[in-house]
Amino acid sequence: MARELDRFSRGGDLVAVLGDWTAGDGPLYRKLADAVARAVDEGALSAGRRLPSERELAKLLAVSRATVVAAYEDLEVREVLERKQGSGTRISAAARAVPADGRVNGGRAAATFQRLIDGPGSVISLACAADAGVPEVADALAEVARYDLPGLLGDPGYQVRGLSALREAVADYYSNQGLPTSPDEIMITNGAHQALVLLSEVYLRGASTVAVEAPSWQPCLDVLRDAGVGAVPVPLDDEGIDERRLAAVLAEHRPSVLYLMPTFHNPAGVLMSDRRRRRVAELAARYDVAVIEDNAYAGCTLAREGAPEIPAPLSAYLPAGVESVVVESMKAVWGGLRIGWIRGPRGLLQRCARRKALADLGGPIIEQAIAARLFPRLPEIVKTGSVERAERCDQAERLIAEHLPGWTWRTPDGGSSLWLALPERDADVFAQIALRHGVEVIPGSTMDPTGAHDNYLRLPFMQDPEVLDELVRRLADAWGDLVRHGPGEEEPRARTIV
């Protein structure tokens, strides 16, 4: 990856693989030692891997240096670590070799992915920003069972590019937004994330550089990293990606692809304005850069007076000859439906279909039939969800203003999260203290490799009201501890490790 992402390999990835290491009983040093040993056993930390110094790891984990010293001594007794003068602390060369654990080398989405694997656990996790499913899913399921199932069962069920009825519905959806589309320009995927993975495999391989927004959602950055593509970050403003900085990046780096989230950016919640979309389209044409438009949150609107009207997709502004791809999903309906899609050139979709066939032979047909039944109801579903989303957003803003004065944010145009700035504090440090108060925080450093958002965190607000109350209370307690006592937590050190 580009040098901007190298900072992630300096210790932050170690913190990510430790996960919720403070859970359970016992002294902190023993829990830390157990977490490191577990990471070695699982293959997340390999033999010879150099670990941070005691002082550096104490800072990363917001504990006292004595805690790390005791943990390292414990691990040395267990022969998990070896320490030599001049070469620092490393995982023992005798550590058992195990297969790769599936993490992206140097990636920062480990906590998000691991939470999906492990389930909710005992902490309130801010790793995912997803709404509960809407009741219309049950109605559509009943209609599929009653009217569609006999015909579906007469088909072998392997439709790699997706159910024709759903591709037709998606094509009409874009055509009605001012982006003329035919069904053969649509491919159905298992969520928007699979769409990005497929595009990285067939569209980005061989690309030297991709321009991305900063901040951006860290699983997307991990997809790019895993594809071996260099990412050049471009900052945002209140209208979307900064057009002046984008022009400079395109002129200097000549990226082959521009990856954007113009409609309710994740995590910032910004809606790119009509004027900015026109300007970005002009720059894409001038510098001959292809555009990947990720609109996974397009249906996550907020019912507010004077809310901005959502412009046509960015791809509708691009002149002929500029290649573009749109990625979207039914996140506003239910993430568990796992329905996403790619809108793009036929040749590209053909290549993506080959990769999808290799991965899963095609998506589940009944879920796609449900999605096709839901498409005519999307406007009403989005409208209803918009009211609830605005209420939860208002509640979160009231609670934070009351319990965490000094924290600042921009009320989002849409989406499901607040992008919060902590006053003069490192969010990585706060994340460790919040974890000890039962909240899993995803700090801004994982979403912006430039360091410009190290004091930010993303707070998904689509929680049950009582959970949101408890969440902010715990965050306030953690913040109080950080302000009063600082990042370190002293504890008696065991002089003899047995």
Handedness of CA 216, 222, 227, 229 (dihedral sign): positive
Helix (H, G, I), strand (E, B) or coil at 407: strand
pLDDT score of 99: 59
Angle at 162 between CA 323 and CA 110, to 5 degrees: 75
Handedness of CA 375, 330, 339, 461 (dihedral sign): negative
**Left, alpha or beta for 220 (phi > 0: left; psi -120 to 50: alpha)?**
alpha
Residue 403: exposed, middle, or buried by beta-carbon count in 10 A (0-12, 13-18, 19+)?
Answer: middle
pLDDT score of 48: 87
- The answer to whether residues 409 and 419 touch, using CB atoms and an 8 Å cutoff, is yes
Residue bearing tokens 């061989």: 206
Handedness of CA 207, 208, 212, 217 (dihedral sign): positive
pLDDT score of 227: 84
Strands (E), 266-308: 290-294
Q: What are phi and psi of 170, to 5 degrees?
A: -65, -40
Strands (E), 371-475: 408-409, 417-421, 439-440, 456-460
Q: Which of 233, 276, 240, 176 is nearest to 410 (CA)?
A: 240
Q: How would you write the pLDDT of the chain (498 residues) with one tens digit per residue? A: 333 333 334 456 678 788 888 877 889 999 999 999 998 888 888 888 889 999 999 988 989 999 999 999 999 999 999 988 777 899 998 776 665 555 555 555 455 555 555 655 678 989 887 788 999 999 999 999 999 999 999 999 999 999 999 999 999 999 999 999 999 999 999 999 999 999 998 888 766 799 999 999 888 888 888 888 889 999 999 999 999 999 999 999 999 999 999 999 999 999 999 999 999 999 999 999 999 999 999 999 999 988 889 999 999 999 999 999 999 999 999 989 999 999 999 999 999 999 999 999 999 999 999 999 999 999 999 999 999 999 999 999 999 999 999 999 999 999 999 999 999 888 999 999 999 999 999 899 999 989 999 999 999 999 999 999 999 999 999 999 999 877 765 443 333 332
pLDDT score of 33: 93
Residue bearing tokens 């796992």: 338
**Residue 93 to residue 95: CA distance in whole angstroms:** 5
Residue 361: exposed, middle, or buried by beta-carbon count in 10 A (0-12, 13-18, 19+)?
Answer: exposed
pLDDT score of 17: 82
pLDDT score of 486: 74
- Residue 173 tokens read as 């959806």
pLDDT score of 355: 94
Neighbours of 311 (CB within 10 A): 20
pLDDT score of 129: 76
Residue 87: exposed, middle, or buried by beta-carbon count in 10 A (0-12, 13-18, 19+)?
Answer: exposed
Contacts of 34 (CB under 8 A, 6+ apart): 21
- The answer to whether residues 319 and 285 touch, using CB atoms and an 8 Å cutoff, is yes
